[in-house]
């Protein structure tokens, strides 16, 4: 089953890549917009740290590393699955969801990876350059161990981000319009993925790191890279990702069962 799903993903990516290469202006336009936003964000924190060395335990280059991690995860999501997941409410309203549910494959997988966006790939590479630069400026020796750990946490946080995106769109199966909920989601993402999760205290830490764990997504890979691995925290992160993946799986199954076909 996993091999079949992997082949489907590769097929969708290949088809989308061929189509995008036929419209290079769209490809480069998206890249320059994302690059401009990234540079503005870096300059903003550069100005803040011009008079302060450390904020809440994060040095200037650790924050740059954190920003690079945020942009890396965000652009991986944009490239692979964000636009596919984001169209779920439109598919439901238009009745086109019928087409996907009748396919002899995993409907969520097909929808998620159908809108592969190669214009985000340069930003993925640029984010990696920024991450390496920040690590070197922080005098961190890049070893196989810390690179592998970072990549493992990065993959886990991409999975968690995917789960959260899907869960919000599942609501569209039960209501006509979820634009208000999507606006709240966007605001939460802007707030919690661009601010280290360690900055949240008491109730807000519980809210943004456990209940709706957007605060973990950029923080976990960055924090674990610069600090000694706390295995209790690692286990907690694994539990959170597993729980949200399970919730997402059953929420999608439940939502699809209650889908009212356009032909009914």
Boundaries of every domain in the chain: 56-257
Of 135-149, 190-204, 234-248, minimum mean pLDDT range? 190-204
**pLDDT per residue as tens digits for the range 37-89:** 667 777 766 776 666 667 778 888 898 899 899 999 999 999 899 999 999 99
Residue whose C-alpha is closest to residue 85's, from 51, 56, 116, 59: 116
Query: How many whole angstroms from its chain centre is CA 96?
Result: 25
201 or 192, greater pLDDT: 201
> Does the pLDDT of residue 137 top 80, yes or no?
yes
pLDDT at 227: 87
| Neighbouring-strand partners of residue 55 | 58
Query: Which 3 state secondary structure label does DSSP give 184?
Result: helix
Q: Mean pLDDT throughout 172-179?
A: 88
Give mean pLDDT, residues 93-114: 85
Lowest mean pLDDT among 128-132, 139-143, 169-173: 139-143
218 closest CA partner among 140, 142, 146, 131: 131
Biggest distance spanned by C-alpha atoms of the chain: 64
Using CB atoms within 10 Å of the CB of residue 18, give its burial: 0 to 12 exposed, 13 to 18 middle, 19+ buried: exposed
What's residue 20's pLDDT?
A: 59
Q: What is the CA radius of gyration of the chain?
A: 19
Q: Count CB neighbours of 117 within 10 A.
A: 21
Q: What pLDDT was estimated at residue 100?
A: 86
Given this model, what pLDDT does residue 140 score? 87
């Amino acid at each position: 089953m996993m091999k079949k799903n992997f082949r489907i993903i590769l097929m969708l990516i290949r088809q989308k890549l061929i189509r995008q290469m036929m419209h290079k202006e769209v490809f480069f336009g998206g890249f320059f917009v994302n690059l401009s936003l990234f540079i503005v964000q870096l300059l903003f924190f550069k100005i803040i740290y011009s008079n302060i060395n450390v904020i809440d335990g994060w040095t200037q280059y650790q924050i740059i590393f954190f920003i690079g991690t945020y942009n890396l995860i965000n652009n991986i999501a944009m490239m692979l699955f964000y636009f596919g997941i984001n169209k779920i409410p439109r598919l439901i309203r238009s009745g086109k969801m019928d087409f996907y549910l009748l396919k002899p494959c995993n409907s969520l997988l097909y929808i998620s990876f159908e809108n592969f966006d190669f214009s985000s790939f340069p930003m993925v590479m640029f984010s990696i350059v920024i991450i390496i630069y920040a690590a070197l400026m922080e005098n961190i020796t890049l070893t196989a161990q810390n690179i592998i750990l970072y990549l493992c946490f990065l993959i886990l946080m991409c999975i968690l981000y995917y789960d959260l995106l899907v869960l919000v769109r599942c609501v569209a199966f039960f209501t006509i319009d979820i634009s208000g909920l999507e606006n709240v989601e966007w605001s939460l993402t802007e707030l919690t993925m661009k601010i280290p999760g360690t900055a949240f205290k008491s109730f807000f830490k519980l809210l943004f790191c456990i209940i709706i764990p957007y605060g973990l997504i950029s923080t976990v890979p960055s924090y674990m890279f610069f600090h000694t691995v706390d295995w209790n925290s690692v286990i907690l992160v694994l539990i959170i990702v597993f729980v949200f993946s399970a919730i997402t799986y059953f929420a999608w199954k439940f939502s699809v069962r209650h889908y009212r076909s356009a032909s009914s």
